[in-house]
Amino acid sequence: MEDKDTHRDGAIGVFDSGYGGLTVLSEIKSLMPEYDFIYLGDNARTPYGNRSYERVYEFTLEAVKWFFKHGCKLVVLACNTASAKALRSIQQIDLPKIDINNRVLGVIRPTAENVSKISQSGHIGIMGTEGTIQSKSYDIEINKLHPHMFVTGEACPMWVPLVENREYNKPGADYFVKKHIDSILSKDPLIDTIILGCTHYPLLIEKITDFLPKGVRAISQGKLVAESLKNYLERHPEMDILCTKNGTITYFTTDSPSKFIEQASIFLDEEIVAQKADL
């Protein structure tokens, strides 16, 4: 289907490099079912996880402008890599030039705000893409809010392909899950909380939990992001009033809509319709 009739004044934009952001959208949707959403997956250019800052920033900024063009005032970067590598520049450099009233939020800050409530030991592990871990965005955000917490990162480059190839709940996934759990816990044995800092990893949570020693738990961030968005809109009625509330979700992809629909079934329990984005 072509990108027609796509202007959705007042929908909240949810962006990801591909399908994974659907895990975040699901949590947002279940907490805020009355709002309208536009989801955009940049499937033509995914994965972002091993791309340079310049590329991730360029692609994410294009997506943000696309959302604004389609009537969104508020955009959530559900993608950890985009949040890690592009959000700050977009907020500080681009938004003031594009429209100072529009907002772009990410997934790292809401997670960082919550870690002190979750961890007893104060030692946190972050699993993410190479880009997210190299950026040290979690370390920076967590230590800004909680200077005494210890943050250790672990890049898990095989975990996204395991999910996208539907191997996440098969025995073949065990090796790669165990390898990275063992690695992060050997770097800091006092870790008691592992944050799944990538859109795809919630699908691996059962397997991850199987390999965690007693006293260590894995946390998906979708709920934290959803609660933080709800809270943001409560604190910003001037933005909330601009958000329409008809309970719709419109899905866009930069690649093939039929492939998007097929792969989205990994992440969603419902059937969806997707359109090609004019990006």
The residue (of 160 and 225) whose beta carbon lies closer to ligand DGL is 160
Q: How far apart are the first and last CA of the chain?
A: 14
Answer whether 221's CB lies under 8 Å from 193's CB: no
Binders of ligand DGL: how many residues, by CB under 6 A? 17
Structure-token match 């699901």, residue found: 26
Please give the single-letter amino acid code of residue 270. Answer: E
- Report DSSP state, residue 1: -
Minimum CB–partner distance for residue 129 and ligand DGL (Å)? 4
Residue nearest to ligand DGL (CB): 49
Centre a 10 Å sphere on the Cβ of residue 148 and count the other Cβ atoms it contains. 7
198 touches ligand DGL by CB under 6 A: yes
d(CA 95, CA 115): 28
Site for ligand DGL in 65-124 (CB under 6 A): 79-81
Structure-token match 């996208």, residue found: 164
CA angle 147, 150, 154 (to 5 degrees): 130
Site for ligand DGL in 157-176 (CB under 6 A): 160
Closest CA to 64 of 47, 88, 31, 44: 88
Report the phi/psi class of residue 85: left, alpha or beta, with left for phi > 0 and alpha for psi in -120 to 50: alpha
List 12, 16, 40, 253, residue binding ligand DGL (CB under 6 A): 16
Mind telling me the catalytic residues? 79, 198
Site for ligand DGL in 30-59 (CB under 6 A): 46-49
Candidates 90-98, 195-203, 211-219, 255-263; binding stretch for ligand DGL (CB under 6 A): 195-203
Candidates 13-21, 111-119, 141-149, 235-243; binding stretch for ligand DGL (CB under 6 A): 13-21
Site string for ligand DGL, 238-267 (x = CB under 6 A): ------------------------------
The residue (of 23 and 193) whose beta carbon lies closer to ligand DGL is 23
Interaction site with ligand DGL (CB under 6 A): 16-18, 20, 46-49, 79-81, 129, 132, 160, 198-200
